[in-house]
């Protein structure tokens, strides 16, 4: 499942992923991104993967890849917070799908990630 965070920031969208993400979770996340991008000038994205435990099936992974591709030009910066185990895998995959500058932050560096994502 996921929750939206940073609702009070107009220039940054925050997503917190927890547990295994389903195809439905990713579809709802994609809808949320469309809504937020349409209503505000968001230049940054903060994704917290601290509680992320992977995908529930290949259909969820496929939906995530579709979402990443659809929004590859929508953000100038993407800050990712999470465990080291996801960093190498996530960096190589995301780097191929987005033009945004990406920065990884360790657990506990959420404030630094938010500040970095807001910079232009």
pLDDT per residue rounded down to tens, the chain (120 residues): 999 998 877 789 999 999 999 999 999 999 999 888 888 777 789 999 999 988 999 999 899 989 888 888 888 888 889 876 666 666 666 666 677 777 788 888 888 998 898 886
Alpha-carbon torsion, ordered 92, 53, 38, 111, to 10 deg: -80
Predicted local confidence at residue 6, as pLDDT = 81
**How far is residue 33's CA from residue 36's CA, in Å, rounded to a whole number?**
5
Half-sphere exposure of 19 (CA within 13 A, CB side): 8
For residue 72, the model assigns a pLDDT of 83
What residues does each domain of the chain span?
A: 2-118
Across 18-52, b (16+ Cβ under 10 Å) vs e yields: eeebbbebbeebbeebeebeeeeebbbbbbbbeeb
Q: Give pLDDT, residue 118.
A: 83
Span 2-118: which CATH code? 3.30.750.24
Q: Which pLDDT value is given to residue 107?
A: 83
End-to-end CA distance of the chain: 30
């Amino acid at each position: 499942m996921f929750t939206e965070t940073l609702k009070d920031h107009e220039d940054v969208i925050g997503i917190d992923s927890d547990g295994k993400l389903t195809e439905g979770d990713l579809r709802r996340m994609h809808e949320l991104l469309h809504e937020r991008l349409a209503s505000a000038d968001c230049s940054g994205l903060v994704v917290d993967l601290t509680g992320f435990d992977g995908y529930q099936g290949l259909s969820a992974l496929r939906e995530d890849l579709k979402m990443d591709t659809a929004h590859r030009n929508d953000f100038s910066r993407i800050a990712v917070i999470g465990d080291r185990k996801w960093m190498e895998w996530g960096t190589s995959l995301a780097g191929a799908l987005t033009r945004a500058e990406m920065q990884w932050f360790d657990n506990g560096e959420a404030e630094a990630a938010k500040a970095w994502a807001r910079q232009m």
